[in-house]
Amino acid sequence: MPAPAGLKNRAGVRSSNFIMKDLIWKRAVSGTASGYTYAEVPVKYSSKVTPAVFIRGNGQDTPSKPDDAVLKASFDRLIIYKDKKGTVYQKLISYVPDKAYLLRHKGDISHNRLGKLDKDFDGYIFHKEWSGKMTYILRIENGRVMKTIRFGDNKRKNNLNKVRAQQCDWYDIFYWYQDCVMYNDDPNDVVCGDPYSEYCCTEEYCYDDGVNDEGPMDCSDPAYFGHPDCSTDPDPSPCGYSYSKSGARIKNECMEIINNIKDPCLKALVTSLLDMNLNQKLSEIINNFDNNAIADIYFQDSPETKNFTPANFTNASYNPNTFIFKATVTLSTNILNESSKEFAGAVVIHEVIHGYFSKLEGANELLTKGHQEMADKFITPMAEFLVSEYLMSLKDATALAWSGLGDTKSYSTATNFSYNGGTMTKEELNSIVQAYRFKRNGSPIRDQNNDCN
């Protein structure tokens, strides 16, 4: 494993040890995957460290400086995961995008998560120990793993089936350091100085006819938690169409949300919910898709909607010839700009669930059934989502989740509504909803200067 001339192989250990790491717990997200429960927590450093890959060859031996936008958009997360026996592990993951992919997403890729990458994600994901020592690197193209470059012990443990390789590449890893200041613990609100580099390590990647020669991975090794090849979960289909190797178009049962909202604050609110993987979470909850349609849900805004409603789900249509379902959600700027973010968030989630239901039913069936199903199955997931997004109490979130379900039997016959840890009366529930509806509680969408919160 030769290092480039003039550089000492540090295997990444020293490089990160003198950097102070801190965790932004309030932005942590959690989930379950491959038999583990896990939390993904953003990391901030006294100096930002961005790993970059340089592939030697073609007469190039000097790594070029990564693009400033790529350095700015790259980020680290700590993954804490627990297996069924209760053993807890942790690892650091660095997400480093390719520039073209980054430009397509307007410089922000922070919505990507472990196992839930954009369908067009191009770049590298570095898996490291907490010390910074490299475990393996994933080369991702179109959201899928193209190469797994394993390091050190990790590699030796897995290359028992090594075949005779025809070609090898040398991957040099450099760390790019930047002195940064992060405001409000917001990884998107960071100002950094000029980057400077330090060599980390080099690894050889050999392959034969495009097939990695390192043999199968030992997926029982917790180090491979999060590696797509070791996932035991159903593959979440990307939204829209995909193409087979022969070029045939394949329909994926999924839903794409197109944010056409003009009002900047409402647009940001919907974007924030989508960044929290609202779409994915709902599709996980509604796991009984059967009409194999692609759904395009257009979000737009208008001063008013029909009948004093904060939002309308309308124009639902399904074309069985193209397998495309379309619908529009119109948000009322007059009402929602006078509401709290929590209320508006609950409204958006409510309408997106309508989207799933009407997609399932082939559009424009009367949707009172949808409300009843929401009341039966979605109160807790909706409330938990609101809690994670807005850090509100479960009681208030549960009340907001019930908002809009007044035409259901569950609501009309109930006198008390339960949530994990307590109950509330119908009057109490309505009072909570109205307080968020009219900004007497929660965070206003706009501040006193009319700027977005």
Partner 1 sequence: MRKNLVFFLFIILISCFTNSYAQESKASIKFIRWFFKDKGSILYTNRIFSGGAAALKKDILKDTLKNLKYDNENKINFLVFTDKEKRRLNRDIMKIDSKFRSKNILPGSTLIDRDTIDNILGDRGFGWPKFNERYGNVFYSFSKPIFIRKKTICIFYSDYSCQDTCGSGELAVYKWINNEWVKWLIIDHWVS
The residues of the shown chain that bind partner 1, judged by CB under 8 A, are 304-321, 335, 338, 346-347, 350-351, 354, 358, 362-364, 366-368, 370-371, 403-407, 412, 430-431, 433-434, 437-438, 440
Contacts of 278 (CB under 8 A, 6+ apart): 348, 349, 352, 385
Q: How far is the CB of 298 from partner 1 (least distance, A)?
A: 14
- Residue 315 or 420 having the CB closest to partner 1: 315
Q: How far is the CB of 331 from partner 1 (least distance, A)?
A: 11
**Alpha-carbon gap, residue 15 to 267, rounded angstroms:** 40
Q: How far is the CB of 408 from partner 1 (least distance, A)?
A: 9
- Residue 35 or 303 having the CB closest to partner 1: 303
**Alpha-carbon gap, residue 446 to 268, rounded angstroms:** 11
**Alpha-carbon gap, residue 285 to 248, rounded angstroms:** 29
Query: Are 168 and 212 spatial neighbours (Cβ–Cβ below 8 Å)?
Result: no
- Residue 187 or 370 having the CB closest to partner 1: 370
Written as six digits, the tokens of 234 are 């159903």
| Residue among 140, 59, 137 nearest 98 (CA) | 140
Per-residue CA distances from 318 to 240, 242, 322, 327, 360 (Å): 15, 20, 9, 9, 10
- Residue 217 or 286 having the CB closest to partner 1: 286
Per-residue CA distances from 388 to 4, 370, 392, 409, 435 (Å): 46, 24, 8, 28, 20
Q: How far is the CB of 199 from partner 1 (least distance, A)?
A: 57
Q: How far is the CB of 262 from partner 1 (least distance, A)?
A: 19
Contacts 24+ apart (CB under 8 A), 140-147: 143/117, 143/118, 143/119, 143/238, 144/228, 145/227, 145/228, 145/229, 147/205, 147/212
| Residue among 96, 94, 67, 64 nearest 79 (CA) | 94
Contacts of 133 (CB under 8 A, 6+ apart): 11, 12, 13, 151, 152
- Residue 85 or 306 having the CB closest to partner 1: 306
Written as six digits, the tokens of 442 are 């929660």
Q: How far is the CB of 254 from partner 1 (least distance, A)?
A: 21
- Residue 43 or 401 having the CB closest to partner 1: 401
Report angle CA 111, 182, 340 to the nearest 5 degrees: 60
Provide the 10 A C-beta neighbour count for residue 191.
Answer: 11
Q: How far is the CB of 346 from partner 1 (least distance, A)?
A: 8
Q: How far is the CB of 287 from partner 1 (least distance, A)?
A: 22
* 341-360 vs 368-377: helix crossing angle, rounded to 10: 120
Q: How far is the CB of 321 from partner 1 (least distance, A)?
A: 6
Widest pairwise Cα distance in the chain: 77
- For 50, the 3-state DSSP assignment is strand
- Give CA torsion, residues 403, 408, 411, 414, to 10 deg: 180
H or E stretch including 59? none
- Residue 192 or 435 having the CB closest to partner 1: 435
- Residue 178 or 305 having the CB closest to partner 1: 305
- Residue 156 or 409 having the CB closest to partner 1: 409
Q: How far is the CB of 404 from partner 1 (least distance, A)?
A: 3
- Give CA torsion, residues 342, 347, 351, 356, to 10 deg: 40
- Residue 395 or 437 having the CB closest to partner 1: 437
Q: How far is the CB of 413 from partner 1 (least distance, A)?
A: 11
- Residue 216 or 406 having the CB closest to partner 1: 406
